[in-house]
Amino acid sequence: MKIPENAKKILVFLEDIQLVEQARALDELAMKTMETHIFIKSSISMSDVSNILKQQLIGTHLFICGTWPFIQEIKEKAYLAGFSEDELHYEVMGPRKEKAFCVKCYSYNPRQQEDKISCRNCQTSLLISNHYSRRLDAYLGYIHVS
């Protein structure tokens, strides 16, 4: 993770206390002298998370570390609170469960980290853009013409 220069404050959400030891990005954070708050899933409720996020000023960045479902859950709350994609940073433990949306047949496909996939539904070869649609909760897959 690269902490942007314009970040004034970092909120860290960890799924598990063990991640304090494991998360690589925390080492980097420790080097910076900026206001940092760490929250552990077991000691905070999801409605507290929402409230905390809503109280933040511009310049606050989030760092979320845990499994993909945990990251998705916090991300969702962050979007509702008005955070933008570039204010959110993650370190995923275990598999990512991203989706790619086929623009041809409008179906969802599971995506790991590959840039090109074949649609499960219509077999169209799709190029996965880095455009993430919050509305669809998926990356857009464009038709690949070779």
Shortest Å distance, C-beta 128 to Zn ion: 13
> Looking at beta carbons only, is 93 or 102 nearer to Zn ion?
102
Number of residues that bind Zn ion (CB under 5 A): 7
- 87-115 b/e with 16+ CB inside 10 Å = b? bbbbbebeeeebbbbbeeeeebbebeeee
Shortest Å distance, C-beta 121 to Zn ion: 5
Is residue 125 exposed (0-12), middle (13-18) or buried (19+ Cβ within 10 Å)? middle
> Looking at beta carbons only, is 65 or 117 nearer to Zn ion?
117
Report how far residue 15's alpha carbon sits from residue 12's, in angstroms, rounded to the nearest whole number. Answer: 10
User: Site residues for Zn ion, window 70-129 (CB under 5 A)?
Assistant: 102, 104-105, 119, 121-122, 124
Q: In what order do the strands lie in the sheet with 98-102?
A: 108-111, 98-102, 138-143, 125-133, 116-118
Shortest Å distance, C-beta 106 to Zn ion: 7
Shortest Å distance, C-beta 107 to Zn ion: 5
> Looking at beta carbons only, is 44 or 143 nearer to Zn ion?
143
Binding stretches for Zn ion (CB under 5 A): 102, 104-105, 119, 121-122, 124
